[in-house]
Chains A and B, each alone.
Chain A
Amino acid sequence: MPLDDEAVAAIYREHGPMLRRVVWRATSDANRVEDIVQEVILRVWRQAPEVDNLRAYLITTARHLIVDQHRASTRRPQQTALVDLPVDDADLDRALDQVLVEEALGRLQPAHRDVVRCLYYERLSIAETSTRLGTPEGTVKSRAYYAVRHLRAILDEMGVTR
């Protein structure tokens, strides 16, 4: 197998599932998800970027591709527009950030994820979280600390720098 094929296959297998989720959540067009994902990987392969953070680069490329396709379909109204696509770039950015944050939460260790869910989303106190999870309060506190740090690192790695 030529080297390029190996590189492309490796990237497809490692990043394809994440890209598919991101594109699906941002476009809600099941028929086009795989096409967009493959086009993203092809573009990145053709550009052969020298990047430290391939994941962020793939996500940025997907963002551009979705915006481009959205603009193209707006210019040619007879074509089927991507369903449910947010109206402008700012909305699309928000939608993508939402997907990426959800992806990032999925990458947290389960113990850290539980603490974020209880403290942030369910608005429980440290004491209530401790009871809910059956974990000492001190552990809840330190898990909250490490969850925050890990989440920041994961988001940075995905290119979400806000």
Chain B
Amino acid sequence: MTDESDGLHVLLGGYLLGGLSDADHSAFTEHLRTCAACQAELGQVSGLPRLLALAGPAGGPHLSPDAEGDAAAAPSVSDDEELPRLLSAVARRRQTRRRWFTAVAAAAAAVLFGAGLWLGPRLTAPPELPTTHVVAAPAPGSSVRVDVALVTRGWGTQLDLDCEDMPTSGQLTLYVIDRKGGSTAAASWRGTPTGYSQLTGATALRPNEIQRLEIRDGKGQVLASATT
């Protein structure tokens, strides 16, 4: 019966958004009476239809770009022109506050979505530090995309990762394999719902002492690897 009830859990989406056939609707309603997992999940997402209604009738510019047209587009701004203004305001106010280390931004970014907008490796690593970029090749059967920037630091190597299409849950670990085959974990993180993540790891090895990088899932399965 497991297969059948797995099929029923999934109806929660259509139950909430609408569109279930009468038969599916009754089947799910019946299932909901006895399935604690679905009851709990419905409790978490039951506010969604009301929120979606706020973006009605058509769901806003991302769902129907033609409907709202230019009205939805914020005035476009050139970062190159506006960023210096922001940074000079930062300079004016700098003396009045404590230092805020890049790590704050980098750590926060690791849990955020929107990889497309994130220029982390280029921004968090001061440009004068020697940096090598590699793209990790997905293991057979995996579709993950991982860009790695290896930044040479006094203490070893900083590893800036930009990951896409990753598993959406479970633990992920970056391993650094040295020239003798020894492997050490250099970062661990959790899958995010969108499959995107950006993060920074560290190893005492220098870039030329690193033979290979591997990203593994919670079962130790290699998802992607890069030879440096």
In this assembly, does A101 line the interface, its C-beta being within 8 Å of a C-beta of chain B?
yes
Contact digits for A123-162, partner B, Cβ 8 Å, 1 yes 0 no: 1111111000000000011111111111111110100101
What is the bound-complex CA distance between A49 and B194, given in angstroms? 25
Q: B59: shortest Cβ distance to chain A, in Å?
A: 5
Given contacts A98-B60, A113-B63, A148-B17, 12 further A-B contacts (CB under 8 A): A7-B104, A13-B119, A18-B114, A34-B77, A102-B55, A106-B61, A116-B17, A119-B17, A121-B64, A145-B10, A145-B14, A153-B192
Q: Does B90 contact A (CB under 8 A)?
A: yes
Q: Of A19-27, A60-68, A74-82, which stretch is located at the interface?
A: A19-27
Contact A154 B114 (CB under 8 A): no
Q: Does B117 contact A (CB under 8 A)?
A: yes
CB contact under 8 A between A102 and B59, given known A4-B100, A17-B117, A107-B113: yes
State A55–B112 Cα separation when bound (angstroms): 7
| Set of chain B residues within 8 Å of A54, measured between Cβ atoms | 105, 108-109, 112
B193 near A20 (CB under 8 angstroms)?
A: no
CB distance from B111 to the nearest CB of A (A): 6
A126-B90 CB under 8 A given contacts A53-B111, A101-B52: no
Kindly state the separation between the CA atoms of A13 and B77 in the bound complex, as whole angstroms. 11
Total interface residues on A, using CB and 8 Å?
82
> Is residue A50 contacting chain B, with contact meaning CB distance below 8 A?
yes
Contact B117 A116 (CB under 8 A): no
Q: List 30 A-B contacts (CB under 8 A).
A: A3-B99, A4-B100, A7-B102, A7-B105, A12-B86, A14-B109, A14-B120, A20-B74, A24-B74, A33-B74, A53-B108, A54-B108, A98-B54, A102-B72, A105-B63, A107-B113, A107-B194, A109-B194, A116-B59, A119-B18, A120-B49, A123-B19, A125-B19, A125-B21, A126-B21, A129-B19, A145-B11, A149-B41, A154-B193, A155-B51
How many whole Å from B63's CB to the nearest CB in chain A?
Answer: 5
Asked if B24 is at the interface of the complex by the 8 Å CB criterion, the answer is: yes
Chain B residues 82-135 with CB under 8 Å of chain A are 82-83, 85-87, 89-91, 93-94, 96-102, 104-106, 108-109, 111-114, 117-120, 123-124, 126-127
Q: Are B97 and A48 in contact (CB under 8 A)?
A: yes
- Would A10 and B105 count as touching, CB distance under 8 A? yes
State in angstroms the CA–CA spacing of A2 and B88 once bound together: 12
A160 and B50 CA atoms in complex are apart in Å by 12
B69 at the interface (CB under 8 A from A): no
How many A-B contacts if CB must be within 8 Å?
A: 240
The answer, among A13, A34, A105, for a CB contact under 8 Å with B60, is A105
A117 to B48, CA, bound (A): 14
Task: Decide if A144 touches B74 in the complex (CB within 8 Å).
Answer: no
Q: Which of B19, B101, B117, B118 contacts A3 (CB 8 A)?
A: B101
B60 & A6 in contact (Cβ 8 Å cutoff): no
Residues of A within 8 A of B (CB): 1-18, 20-21, 23-25, 30, 33-34, 38, 41-42, 45-46, 48, 50-55, 94, 97-98, 101-103, 105-107, 109, 113, 115-121, 123-129, 140-155, 157, 160, 162
Q: Is the CB of B102 within 8 A of A3?
A: yes
* Nearest residue, chain A, Cβ from B104: A7
